[in-house]
Amino acid sequence: MFKKVIAIMTASILAASMLVGCGGSTGASSSAPAEEAAEETVEEEAEAPAEDAGDAAAEAVGGDLADKKVGVCIYQFADNFMTLFRGELERYLIEQGFAKENITIVDGANDQATQSGQIDNFIADGVDVLIINLVNSSSAATVTDKVVAAGIPLVYINREPDADEQQRWTDNNWDVCYVGCDARQSGTFQGEIIADLGLDAVDFNKNGKIDYIMIEGDPENIDAAYRTEFSVKALTDAGFEVNCLDDQVGMWDQVKGAELVANSLSQYGNDIEVVFCNNDAMALGALQSIQSAGRTVGTDIYLVGVDALTEVVEKVIAGEITGTVFNNHFAQADGAADAAINYLNGAGNEHNIQCDYTKVTAENAQEILDSLQ
Ligand code: BGC
């Protein structure tokens, strides 16, 4: 029943393309369906003792959590989703017994050099555990090496290191893990939200295809490539023909999302039937541009995001955004904190801990909104 999830983190992570442009990001392949990938939940993993807890965990000193120092690196504070994530992370760490003054959360300002300096400082300060949201996923090996060398357990969040890197944690029995959700599932849910509307409702220009534009997040986060690939795959799997009119990188940013969608709308006009955004911040930007162009979501265009930011869920209820996907920051933050505690008390962790996304449409948006508050 309790089994490793790392096996399903296939070479597709490595294969995921950073290219953009229509069709560019769909080169990533996966041998595991998203549903399967998410079969282990954070809650289950966090409560279960690991089979291969690392050496340091076995020797963990235990003791009162109130005395333990936690260092948290966030890739960028100016990110709506990571703001929710870090708020919950701090709240839950305190609830579990850590002292507020022993929790230090720093802003990497989207600069790996800045973040690497922050990690060096945490090591010099002798923190007991590190929770790191990398700026550049490609820096994982370097970061892991120095943190492991310092004998500090490490929990990665939000930007998943690649399969080779995760294999090193297993091979060396290091106290290093990743806690997150499988973005293939969120992409699949986005595509399904559109597929469920049916071709007649979506195909405004009656060319027999679903004409879409894609606004991608930062390629440093595998979530961007997976959401791009799997949203479209869900449509083709459901038997629809698709036509990608435009595919641009909006870096998870609302202002960039607005600009890119405004450009696409002026270039492709009424041919755009669906706007896929890799996250909700960009969907909010997209909505501004859709409205400025005199278009109406649900009437002559559809719009989907990911995250379930409160503002977006409210707009789903109001019919201004077609749907989103709840990126469970509670489960991810609590799971990361639980993993940190497991290292501190010697229980150890599996190396890859996953949680589920939830599809959000007008049907369940109120329920989701209630759960967010
Ligand atoms: C979220 C984005 C966020 C990004 C940060 C993604 O999983 O969906 O909203 O900007 O993580 O890396």
Q: What is the pLDDT of residues 112-146, one digit of tens each?
A: 999 999 999 999 999 999 999 999 999 999 999 99
CB 82 within 8 A of CB 369: no
Question: How many CB atoms within 10 Å of residue 115?
Answer: 25
pLDDT single digits (tens) 195-217: 999 999 999 999 999 999 999 99
Mean pLDDT within 243-267 = 98
Categorize the per-residue pLDDT at 373 as very low, low, confident or very high, splitting at 50, 70 and 90: confident
SS3 of residue 262 by DSSP: helix
Comparing 23-27, 128-132, 250-254, 335-339, the range with the smallest average pLDDT is 23-27
| pLDDT the model gives residue 47 | 39
CB 281 within 8 A of CB 251: no
Percent share of the chain, pLDDT over 90: 83
Q: How far is the CA of 218 from the centre of ligand 1 (A)?
A: 8
Shared domain check, 220 and 141: no
Shared domain check, 295 and 208: yes
Residue 75 CA, closest ligand 1 atom number: 12
Shared domain check, 191 and 323: yes
Q: How far is the CA of 32 from the centre of ligand 1 (A)?
A: 22
Q: How far apart are CA 329 and CA 322, in angstroms?
A: 21
Buried b (16+ CB within 10 A) or exposed e, 307-342: bbbeebbebbeeebbbbbbbbbbbbbbbbbbbbbbb
**Of the candidates 209, 264, 272, which has an alpha carbon nearest to the alpha carbon of residue 235?**
209
Range of the domain at 199: 184-328+363-368
Q: How far is the CA of 190 from the centre of ligand 1 (A)?
A: 15
Residue 63 backbone zone (phi > 0: left; psi -120 to 50: alpha; other: beta): left
Domain count, the chain: 3
Q: Which protein residues are within 6 Å of ligand 1, measured from CB? A: 79, 81-82, 158-159, 217, 221, 223, 252, 279, 281, 306-307, 327
Shared domain check, 245 and 150: no
Domain end point (choices 10, 26, 60): 60
Mean pLDDT within 347-369 = 97
Tell me, yes or no, whether 350 lies in a domain: yes
Cα radius of gyration (the chain): 21
Shared domain check, 75 and 47: no
Domain end point (choices 27, 44, 60): 60
Comparing 1-5, 101-105, 144-148, 238-242, the range with the smallest average pLDDT is 1-5
Q: How far apart are CA 39 and CA 355, in angstroms?
A: 8
Tell me, yes or no, whether 222 lies in a domain: yes
Q: How far is the CA of 221 from the centre of ligand 1 (A)?
A: 8
Q: How far is the CA of 64 from the centre of ligand 1 (A)?
A: 33
Token pair of 310 as six digits: 């409160």
Query: Of the residues 107, 311, 327, which should be mutated to test ligand 1's pocket, given the most ligand atoms within 8 Å of the CB?
Result: 327
Shared domain check, 171 and 280: no
Query: Of the residues 77, 82, 216, 312, which should be mutated to test ligand 1's pocket, given the most ligand atoms within 8 Å of the CB?
Result: 82
The residue nearest atom 10 of ligand 1, judged by CA position, is: 252
**Of the candidates 330, 329, 335, 345, which has an alpha carbon nearest to the alpha carbon of residue 45?**
335
Shared domain check, 220 and 300: yes
Residue found under tokens 């909505």: 287
Shared domain check, 310 and 192: yes
147: domain CATH number is 3.40.50.2300
In this predicted structure, the answer to whether residue 3 has a pLDDT above a threshold of 60 is no
What lies within 8 Å, CB to CB, of 235 at 6+ separation is: 191, 194, 195, 210, 242
pLDDT single digits (tens) 64-90: 999 999 999 999 999 999 999 999 999
Shared domain check, 81 and 167: yes
Q: How far is the CA of 255 from the centre of ligand 1 (A)?
A: 15
Residue 180 CA, closest ligand 1 atom number: 7
Buried b (16+ CB within 10 A) or exposed e, 84-113: bbbebbbebbbeeebeeebbebbbbebebe
Comparing 47-51, 100-104, 211-215, 358-362, the range with the smallest average pLDDT is 47-51
CB 258 within 8 A of CB 291: no
Q: How far apart are CA 52 and CA 146, in angstroms?
A: 21
Tell me, yes or no, whether 161 lies in a domain: yes
pLDDT single digits (tens) 137-195: 999 999 999 999 999 999 999 999 999 999 999 999 999 999 999 999 999 999 999 99
**Of the candidates 250, 335, 343, which has an alpha carbon nearest to the alpha carbon of residue 53?**
343
Query: Of the residues 186, 252, 324, which should be mutated to test ligand 1's pocket, given the most ligand atoms within 8 Å of the CB?
Result: 252
Q: How far is the CA of 304 from the centre of ligand 1 (A)?
A: 15
What lies within 8 Å, CB to CB, of 149 at 6+ separation is: none
Percent share of the chain, pLDDT over 70: 84
Residue 183 CA, closest ligand 1 atom number: 7
Shared domain check, 155 and 126: yes
Residue 321 backbone phi and psi in degrees, to 5: -130, 135
In this predicted structure, the answer to whether residue 289 has a pLDDT above a threshold of 70 is yes
Mean pLDDT within 97-101 = 98
Angle at 362 between CA 290 and CA 200, to 5 degrees: 65
Mean pLDDT within 310-314 = 98
Average pLDDT, the chain: 88
**What are the DSSP calls for 278-291, one per residue?**
SSHHHHHHHHHHHH
Residue 278 CA, closest ligand 1 atom number: 8
| pLDDT the model gives residue 183 | 96
What lies within 8 Å, CB to CB, of 7 at 6+ separation is: none
| pLDDT the model gives residue 21 | 80
Tell me, yes or no, whether 373 lies in a domain: no
Shared domain check, 166 and 46: no
Shared domain check, 87 and 25: no
N residues, the chain? 373
Residue 327 CA, closest ligand 1 atom number: 8
